[in-house]
């Protein structure tokens, strides 16, 4: 086998890999992004109508669709510019390697305890709150305009931030690792037509950030005190404290547990 043959094989594998990654990114964002899903569904619908019009020789309809198909891409770029930008940004924001600190078991447990203590107080007092935990996809676009804090997570601090008379009560906080990075963050609200219209801005904002990233959003309703979680583009509404804690614990677990220097003693099998 010559070097030329080997190089051709390598370039073909690279070519297929790049195409596969591109298709995977599109499908992943199609699943999690409602607006992008509507765009693709609209394109598929137009192509189906075009096929039917050609099949039935519908001249006028076919002519109109020709113009739609001809100028459609330009119209999509202009009309859906925010959605296309969000899709491209989501590709750029996704980290290939760990960007933030991976929490140890003790750090993760301490974080969950602090959050749960605050959530119980906020629920009991019917104080609205939105806590967003960043995971693999960075939320830097929301962090930059918000008020920077960079503080250790603690129940008293969370309760103080969301206290009704606090200047940072409106908006949400963003947690990176085991630190509260910022407060007063404003998120894009979900435009999903299937969302219950009775849900307020806080729930829609949580669902919005869950649709365009892999973040975990925790919500306390100001009106009812009900607690909910949004992740993977879905809202888990009105959870019990036990359901809330179990889901939070499960979602905060690392994708793979790594043990450093752990010696298993005999009999611990």
Rounded mean pLDDT, 244-261: 74
End-to-end CA distance of the chain, in Å? Answer: 50
Helices (H), the chain: 3-32, 34-55, 59-79, 81-93, 105-125, 140-143, 155-161, 201-212, 241-252
Radius of gyration of the chain (CA): 24
Residue 133 has pLDDT above 60, yes or no: yes
If 0-12 CB within 10 Å is exposed, 13-18 middle and 19+ buried, where does residue 63 land?
Answer: exposed
Among 265, 260, 199, CA closest to 235: 199
| Of 158 and 98, the one with more pLDDT | 158
Among 116, 101, 118, 112, CA closest to 181: 101
pLDDT value for 99: 43
Among 74-88, 128-142, 159-173, the range scoring the smallest mean pLDDT is 74-88
Do residues 253 and 111 touch, judged by C-beta distance below 8 A? no
* pLDDT tens string 185-211: 999 898 887 888 788 899 999 999 998
pLDDT value for 3: 78
Average pLDDT over all residues of the chain: 81
3-class secondary-structure state, position 239: strand
Do residues 234 and 131 touch, judged by C-beta distance below 8 A? no
User: Which structure tokens are listed for 220?
Assistant: 């306390």
| Of 259 and 42, the one with more pLDDT | 42
Residue 182 has pLDDT above 60, yes or no: yes
> Residue 40 — very low, low, confident or very high, per pLDDT cuts 50/70/90?
confident
Do residues 178 and 138 touch, judged by C-beta distance below 8 A? no
pLDDT value for 68: 79
Do residues 190 and 156 touch, judged by C-beta distance below 8 A? no
In the chain, % of residues over pLDDT 90:
38
Domains of the chain and any CATH numbers: 3-93 (no CATH), 105-252 (3.40.1700.10)
Rounded mean pLDDT, 37-41: 71
């Amino acid at each position: 086998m010559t070097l030329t043959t080997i190089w051709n094989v390598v370039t073909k594998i690279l070519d297929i890999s790049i195409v596969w990654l591109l298709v995977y990114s599109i499908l992943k964002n199609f699943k999690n992004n409602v607006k992008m899903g509507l765009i693709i569904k609209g394109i598929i619908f137009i192509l189906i109508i075009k096929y039917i019009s050609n099949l039935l020789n519908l001249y006028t309809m076919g002519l109109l669709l020709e113009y739609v198909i001809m100028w459609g891409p330009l119209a999509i770029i202009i009309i859906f510019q925010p959605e296309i930008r969000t899709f491209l940004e989501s590709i750029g924001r996704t980290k290939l390697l760990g960007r933030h600190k991976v929490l140890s078991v003790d750090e993760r447990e301490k974080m969950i305890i602090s959050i749960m203590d605050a959530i119980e107080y906020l629920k009991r007092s019917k104080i609205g709150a939105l806590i967003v935990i960043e995971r693999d996809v960075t939320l830097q676009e929301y962090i930059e305009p918000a008020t920077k804090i960079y503080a250790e997570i603690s129940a008293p601090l969370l309760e103080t931030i969301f206290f009704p008379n606090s200047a940072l009560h409106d908006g949400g906080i963003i947690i990176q690792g085991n630190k509260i990075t910022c407060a007063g963050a404003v998120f894009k609200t979900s435009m999903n037509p299937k969302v219950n219209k009775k849900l307020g801005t806080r729930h829609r904002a949580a669902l919005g950030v869950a649709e365009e990233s892999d973040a975990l959003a925790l919500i306390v309703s100001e009106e009812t005190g009900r607690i909910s979680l949004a992740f993977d583009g879905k809202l888990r509404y009105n959870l019990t404290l036990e359901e809330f804690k179990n889901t939070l614990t499960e979602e905060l677990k690392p994708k793979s547990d790594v043990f450093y220097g752990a010696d298993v003693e005999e009999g611990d099998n």
